[in-house]
Amino acid sequence: MRPWRACVQPRRQCPSCTTASTAAAQSPEPGSCNHRRPRGRGCSGPSPRLQEEDLHLRTSSLPAIPNPFPELCGPGSPPALTPGSLPPGPAAAKQDVKVFSEDGTSKVVEILADMTARDLCQLLVYRSHCVDDNSWALVEHHPHLGLERCLEDHELVVQVESTMASESKFLFRKNYAKYEFFKNPMNFFPEQMVTWCQQSNGSHTQLLQNFLNSSSCPEIQGFLHVKELGRKSWKKLYVCLRRSGLYCSTKGASKEPRHLQLLADLEDSSIFSLIAGRKQYSAPTDYGFCIKPNRVRNEAKELRLLCAEDEQSRTCWMTACRLLKYGMLLYQNYRIPQQRKAMLSHFSTPVRSVSENSLVAMDFSGQTGRVIENPAEAQSAALEEGHAWRKRSTRMNILGSQSPLHPSALSTVIHRTQHWFHGRISREESHRIIKQQGLVDGLFLLRDSQSNPKAFVLTLCHHQKIKNFQILPCEDDGQTFFSLDDGNTKFSDLIQLVDFYQLNKGVLPCRLKHHCIRVAL
């Protein structure tokens, strides 16, 4: 029969307890004394019988284990770790980075040494109150060299800044074309420029898989204008791009190993676009790009400058360089926002209130209202109500009482509050903005017309080409409307026009999809 023991509640060691025997030190209830404590009195010590039975029980069931740290068991012993006894851990390195926006404003941001370009973009989006649609990019801009490029999402900002000269800077900008080649590869890789060193079915999906698979070896080939190192002259050479680097042929279009000469290595280099290649480097075309070694800061003579014949060719060369250099990293960067969106889709779905769910179409033309159950009749009633509202608004304006909802002057200025309207900029400036933010289908902006002070211009990108459409005002029943197609389709203001062509292609080559935006940091 097990000896009877007192039931003890865990509590701190009694300060008046002086029985710090070996058995008590090895008690399975640390921090408590095995003494019954009357209310309002100190610990009176254990009875001799209880102490003897307890000691007999412990020594008979457990082997004697010596206490290796007796100095820690005394009631007056100091704590094992005192403040400052351990060496301080390494503090996370921080650094100030200055980022500029398109309008020239800038912001100094304190970042950690391991912050990526994607992290910094998300931080700037949050601080600038922008919409985070995963199309923002951090641009490495070298004005003295006439080069710029978008950082890959996984690149470390501090590491990139260490390779930049003092005149260089970071820009915060939209780039809708960052991962467009994953969505529409056929627009990026012309068939005549692509070859495989192994069997393939020739599809663009298979081409991307070959680029992402490090064991395969796709090639991009074609003629490029190449600037000779240390000279101002350019030569048109047959060039092929492989995983091992960029090569030019010394004999026509031959790709025999003895005729190939290495132009540039992609391993420790970055691919840039030429900002003003004709003016700064006497480039033969406007479609220049550059392979810049990371160690080069100000020396233009060490840059490998190249020019393509058109925009599609340049895009193909630069996209292939990115894929061959980074491979699966690019695909992971592309998939991360989509996976995050899929995880949050359940929470991001707007929840309608009970009152919104209970809305029905009503007809109040009779003495009592009735519910319109026919969907076609309900739509017709909604359109009729909309036209009636516009007529009432116009009549109020004519009578001199300005309507707060639809004043007559509001339709001519309300568009100036929209991000897609860029005011009085030139045609060349609008084309430059479109190119900077990505030559993807549906990228657009609106601006004031330079030839007609009452008209506006829609600048739109389609198939990597930029087109301009004039928006003319027209009058009908004393009210001003705007139209793209000589009055066949009329809109009360430019916001309504943009909303319509975002849903309908109409006379445009494609629907409006992305708008060029500039934010102030």
**CA 76/CA 67 separation, integer angstroms:** 17
Q: At 370, is the secondary structure helix, strand, or coil?
A: strand
Between 92 and 489, the more confident residue is 489
Confidence of residue 4 (pLDDT cuts 50, 70, 90): very low
Strand partners of residue 401: none
- Residue 261 near residue 246, CB atoms below 8 Å: no
- Looking at the DSSP bridge assignments, the partners of residue 412 are none
| Interatomic CA distance for residues 473 and 487, integer angstroms | 9
pTM for this structure? Answer: 0.69
pLDDT at 426 over 50: yes
Mean pLDDT of 258-275: 93
Instruction: Go through the chain and tell me how many residues it has.
Output: 521
Which range is least confidently modeled, 85-89, 285-289, 342-346, 354-358? Answer: 354-358
How high is the pLDDT of residue 272? 97
The pLDDT-based confidence of 194 (bands split at 50, 70, 90) is confident
- pLDDT for 49 equals 55
The set of residues, in sequence order, having a beta carbon less than 8 Å from that of 440 and lying 6+ positions away, is 176, 177, 180, 461, 513, 514
In this structure, are strands 443-448 and 465-476 parallel, antiparallel, or unpaired?
unpaired
pLDDT > 70 fraction of the chain, expressed in percent and rounded: 69
Around Cβ 292, how many Cβ atoms within 10 Å? 25
Closest CA to 418 of 517, 307, 316, 520: 517
Beta strands in 197-296 (DSSP E): 218-227, 234-242, 245-249, 260-264, 269-274, 288-293
* Alpha carbons 452 and 431: distance in angstroms, whole number: 19
The pLDDT, as a whole number, for residue 3 is: 46
The per-residue pLDDT for 88 is 65
Number of H helices, E strands in the chain: 13, 21
Q: Give exposure, 104-141, as e/b (b: 16+ Cβ within 10 Å).
A: eebeebebeeebbbbbbbeebbeeeebeeebbbbbbbb
Three-class SS string for 45-78?
CCCHHHHHHHHHHHHHHCCCCCCCCHHHCCCCCC
462-518 pLDDT, tens digit per residue, is 998 999 999 999 888 788 899 999 888 999 889 999 999 999 999 999 999 999 998
The answer to whether residues 515 and 174 touch, using CB atoms and an 8 Å cutoff, is no
Question: Which residues are CB-neighbours of 474 under 8 A, at least 6 positions away?
Answer: 480, 481, 482, 483, 487, 490
Tokens for 276?
């003003």
Helix axes 311-326, 204-212, angle to 10 degrees: 40
Q: How far apart are the first and last CA of the chain?
A: 80
Q: Report the candidate in 98, 115, 93 with the shortest Cα–Cα distance to residue 166.
A: 98
Report the alpha-carbon distance of residue 442 to residue 514 in Å, rounded.
Answer: 6
**Where do we find the tokens 């909802």?**
405
Give the relative orientation of helices 328-348 and 311-326 as an angle to the nearest 10 degrees: 90
The pLDDT, as a whole number, for residue 206 is 79
Q: Which residue has the tokens 């650094």?
A: 95
Answer yes or no: is pLDDT of 123 > 50: yes
pLDDT band at 328 (very low <50, low <70, confident <90, very high): very high
Place of tokens 């009578």: 399
pLDDT for 338 equals: 80
Q: In which band, very low, low, confident or very high, does the pLDDT at 286 lie, cut at 50, 70 and 90?
A: very high
